[in-house]
């Protein structure tokens, strides 16, 4: 992948990670967190995606180097 493509992908991964973290903050610190459906969606969708995006931001470059050989 070119450097330009890598930077674009990483920037978008970082933006998605920030959006998910913001959502988690909203759920934790607002009355919205009292709704059972919102909590379920956060626990089942948002939090796992936040963890995966964080791991990809942290170890993604090393993983891609290892997969390329």
Radius of gyration of the chain (CA): 15
Mean pLDDT of 33-46: 94
Burial of 22 (0-12, 13-18, 19+ CB in 10 A): exposed
Distance from the Cα of residue 5 to its chain's centroid: 19
Tell me which of 40 and 5 has the higher pLDDT: 40
Task: Tally the C-alpha atoms within 13 A of residue 61's C-alpha that lie toward its C-beta.
Answer: 8
Token pair, residue 35, equals 């709704």
Instruction: State the pTM of this model.
Output: 0.80
Residue 64 has pLDDT above 90, yes or no: no
């Amino acid at each position: 992948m070119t450097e330009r493509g890598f930077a674009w992908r990483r920037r978008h991964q970082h933006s998605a990670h920030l959006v998910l973290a913001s959502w988690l903050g909203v759920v934790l610190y607002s009355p919205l967190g009292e709704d059972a459906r919102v909590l379920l969606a956060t626990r089942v969708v948002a939090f796992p995606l936040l963890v995966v995006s964080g791991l990809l931001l942290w170890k993604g470059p090393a993983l891609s180097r290892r997969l390329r050989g």
